Chain A
Amino acid sequence: MKKVIMGNHAASWGALLSRVQVIAAYPITPQTQIVEELSEMCADGRLKAKFIKVESEHSALASIIGASATGARAFTATSAQGLALMHELLHWAAGARLPIVMVNVNRAMAPGWSIWGDQNDSLSQRDTGWMQFYCEDNQEVLDTVIMSYRIAESVQLPIMVCYDAFILSHTYEPVDIPDQKLVDDFLPQPPKRFVLNPEDPRAFYSLVTPDHYMEFRYKTQAAMQKAKGTIEEVCKEFEKSFDRRYELVDAADCEDAEVVLVTSGSSTSPARVVVKALREKGHKVGLLKIKTFRPFPAEKVREILADKKSVAVVDKNISFGKGGIFADELKGALFNLKNKPKVYEFIVGLGGRDITPDIIEEIALDTISGKVSESEVHWKGLKP
């Protein structure tokens, strides 16, 4: 069934079709329609779930942790300040190895107050142990929520599904809503795991001395590494069931490319237009969309970019005192290669500033001509 829906409702549909059992959430712009729609779905009986209307995002994630530790499939959604308030419990959920799925609608951090989009909210949660997936359009939002439960329940790590404020959250696009039966076949009841159960009483997440702590962290890292293979498998199965293809990274026109643009999230769409136009003009340009930020698909990135002349990373985020965060990750992945491309860093779209095709074209041409320095961070769309 095709419906024209906003990105936020695509997320709600993803949760509905995944048959989540416990939802706990707190409203924040631009996430609100996710929880409004889920409230309707719970109220009219389409979704059989308990929706805990908590008093903060911190409590939202704490409730979801409690629910997941008891064995329920659990969902929450937030943005920016809400995600930052959850920070302590992001570590908790990952350390507890709970298969929670959370949607984060990427919104810039205050101050000054901004409800508009950039990725600094989720990227500053990089080291909490959550997988992070970035979506390009509303269809990908819905599909990624469903796939995320399969992946999270297999790997036993939580997943953050991220997409841009307003550009996706409030924009209506045609979205194919799969049949519940197909989703049920793809996403069966979660596999058995240790949960809070009086018949098998165990203490969860108790005090861990230096005798054991490091092994727990080693296992989390091992799970993250293993997750890459799991994600690929789940994406393949998803394609079989639903005829839509997703990958750790999405490479377009990269094979013969000399210069590759690297994007994430909704800035990929204008980049597709620009790459097409530049190719028509004879430029050997390609596009690499990074869907999974954690685990970082370093092997894939190396495989695709190893023989390229140069790479331009479009970052809708900034690590102050360093530069673009995706650019930094990319450089880390490429560093040990013998022949590696030059990597150019571009900061765009902070606080919801438009990322137009013109800006992306400028980035591409700067990189093709090599007239900008690779040792500096370049801001595009910045007012003089």
Chain B
Amino acid sequence: MKHRDIPREEYLMGGHLACQGCGAPIAMRLALKALGADTIVVIPACCWTIICGNFPYNTLKLPVLHTAFETTGSASAGVRAALEMLGKSHIKVLGWAGDGGTFDIGLQSLSGAAERNDEIIYVCYDNEAYMNTGIQRSGATPEGAWTTTTPEKHPKEGPKKNIVQILAAHKTPYVATANVAYPEDLIMKVRKAAQVRGTKFIHILSPCPPGWRIPSEWAIKVARLATETKIFPLYEVIGGEEYVINHEPKGLPVHEYLKMQGRFRHLTEDQIDEFQRFVDREWEFLLHKAAMY
């Protein structure tokens, strides 16, 4: 897909309430360009609760169901069931949750929807912590990162949960990663998801300048480095088995990514080396899986 092929239609209007440099409205804007007007958006408690606008405003030109934190999977399933019964099955249901609402509190209802293979597109826009409440660690926070609940003297322990593997283990028909720094790839994947029957899951990396401790104008640059350092590779998993890597990363050292962000500034050289080893190992795993097909 070429940049010029990105649809011109806009479903995200001006006046939204995101912070400067936030990846979340970029992700939404691109995803909705791919999905078009016949879409219902389901949003649990997350940054997008705010971004979407206070009552009586709606920054989207689409119907939005705001729902409880842990219910993106189940509420989306309910919307889908109603659409089927009301003869409106052509309408797409987009569940749109943050990392806390997906990796942590909403994992159960997401797993239920994925296991039933409900006809929904579930997007997790991942900014790697509970940013809306003020940067508390989530199951998506990378090892070693500072957050307000993992202070520098006791940073985040344990690696980030591998949500893609969790969904792949459900044999979900279509699972993919995407990154707001690669809009053509992101749109291609959301479009593809809309063509697949059953549950679709797209994990989008979404930079958060206040939470990552970066200037807002660096957001896309930092997000791109996450992929080019292989920390956040772009790939698809078809039917839970077929791994396809969509972008060959430059393989830059992780240091290039970490050094730009205040949340990693306390890391020692040894810790950065360990981070590098972890990323290299994960990349090898991914290559192995991709090589099976």
Say yes or no for B52: interface residue by CB 8 A criterion: yes
Q: Which segment of A54-62, A143-151, A341-349 sits at the interface? A: A54-62
- Identify A89's interface contact among B38, B42, B63, B68, CB under 8 A: B68
Bitwise, B10-25 to A at CB < 8 A (1) or not (0) is: 0000000000000000
Of the candidates B70, B77, B82, which one forms a contact with A58 in the assembled complex, judged by CB atoms under 8 Å apart? B70
Q: Could you tell me the distance between the alpha carbons of A50 and B65 in the complex, rounded to whole angstroms?
A: 20
A69 cross-chain contacts in B, Cβ below 8 A: 65, 78-79, 82
- Whether the pair A207, B112 counts as a contact (CB closer than 8 A) is no
Contact yes or no, A63 B54, CB < 8 A:
no
| Chain B residues within 8 Å of A22, by CB | 78, 81-82, 85
Given contacts A55-B115, A198-B40, contact A50 B109 (CB under 8 A): no
- Interface contact A71-B86, CB-CB below 8 Å: yes
The size bracket of the interface on A is: 35 or more
B67 neighbours in A (Cβ, 8 Å): 62, 65-66, 92, 205
B248 interfacial by beta-carbon distance below 8 Å:
no
Q: Known interface pairs A55-B109, A70-B40, A209-B54. Does A196 touch B63 (Cβ–Cβ under 8 Å)?
A: yes
The reply to whether A52 and B81 form a contact with Cβ atoms under 8 Å apart is: yes
CA gap between A206 and B37 in the complex, in Å: 20
- Interface residue A197 (Cβ < 8 Å from any Cβ of B): yes
Q: What CA separation (Å) do A14 and B110 show in the bound complex?
A: 31
Name the prevailing secondary structure of the B interface residues.
mixed
Q: Are A203 and B81 in contact (CB under 8 A)?
A: no
Within 8 A of B (CB), among A11-52: 21-22, 24, 48-50, 52
Judge whether A67 is part of the interface by a CB distance below 8 angstroms. Answer: yes
Report the bound CA distance from A204 to B57 in whole Å. Answer: 10
B199 within 8 A of A: no
Q: Decide yes or no whether A181 CB sits under 8 A from chain B.
A: no
Chain A residues closer than 8 Å to B109, beta-carbon distance: 54-56, 58-59, 62
Tell me the minimal C-beta distance from A294 to chain B in angstroms: 22
Whether A337 is near chain B, meaning CB under 8 Å from some CB there, is no
Interface residues of B in 45-64 (CB under 8 A from A): 49-50, 52-58, 60-64
B 66-95 binary contact with A (CB < 8 Å = 1; else 0): 111011011111111111111000010000
* A49, B81: Cα distance in complex, Å: 9
User: Across the interface, do A70 and B66 meet the contact criterion of CB distance under 8 Å?
Assistant: no
- CB of A62 within 8 A of CB of B78, answer yes
Minimum-distance CB pairs A-B, first 9: A66-B78, A63-B78, A59-B74, A70-B82, A55-B112, A62-B71, A203-B58, A72-B82, A50-B81
Can you list 25 residue pairs at the A/B interface with Cβ under 8 Å?
Answer: A22-B85, A48-B85, A55-B108, A55-B111, A58-B70, A59-B71, A59-B73, A59-B77, A62-B67, A62-B74, A65-B67, A66-B77, A66-B79, A67-B79, A67-B82, A69-B78, A70-B79, A70-B86, A71-B86, A72-B81, A196-B40, A197-B63, A198-B63, A201-B61, A207-B66
Which B residues are within 8 Å of any A CB, using their own CB? 37-40, 42, 49-50, 52-58, 60-68, 70-71, 73-86, 91, 108-109, 111-112, 115-116, 118
